[in-house]
Amino acid sequence: MKLKAKALVVSVIAFGLMSGCSASFDEAKDEALVAVEETFKETPKDTNNKNDDIKFYLPFGFEVEEETPNNIILKNGSKTYILFYNLQEEPKSEVVLNATLQQKNYDITERFQQDDKLSYVLVNKSNDEENEVVVGIGGVKITSEVKTSSLKSEAETMMRIVKSVKANK
């Protein structure tokens, strides 16, 4: 009987620790939105990659996997990101945002404005641990599947990439 009681106590403590250590979606969302807005207001990173149409910044570990017209597939380890760009749209344009919103209902739709730029974050909660995240400015957006526990850092990195995109002249 003592063994069962000890096992029960250990199980309760372990469950409490596990549930206390994982970030709730609401906490992760709030932290991510603050981080994205702060990154949006920062000076863009210097570009370190380019294709025929654009120049852009990629953080360490990211690489271009494939390019198609208006899309660049990025990889960072096992994670995949889709960078979309429409050079016909200005940084204040809502065309790409509105087209994206018509495709599905998002649990979070947040917009930020600075000068003549419109930034947005869209999150569709797939389950307790996974989310589809879209971060964009005007005619440029990046999309990826993101764990709730890394929502802040992933969304912040995604904004850094989007903010750096410039048309080749």
Each residue's pLDDT, cut to its tens digit, for the chain (169 residues) gives: 555 555 544 454 544 444 444 569 999 999 999 999 999 999 999 999 999 999 999 999 999 999 999 999 999 999 999 999 999 999 999 999 999 999 999 999 999 999 999 999 999 999 889 999 999 999 999 999 999 999 999 999 999 999 999 998 7
DSSP class per residue in 95-160? HHHHHHHHHS--SEEEEEEETTEEEEEEEEE-SSSEEEEEEEETTEEEEEEEEGGGHHHHHHHHHH
Classify domain 23-167 at the CATH topology level: Jelly Rolls (2.60.120)
pTM (two decimals): 0.85
Distance set, CA 21 to CA 17, 24, 149 (Å): 6, 9, 10
Please name the helix (run of DSSP H) or strand (run of DSSP E) that holds residue 48, with its range, or none. none
73: three-class secondary structure by DSSP: strand
55: three-class secondary structure by DSSP: strand
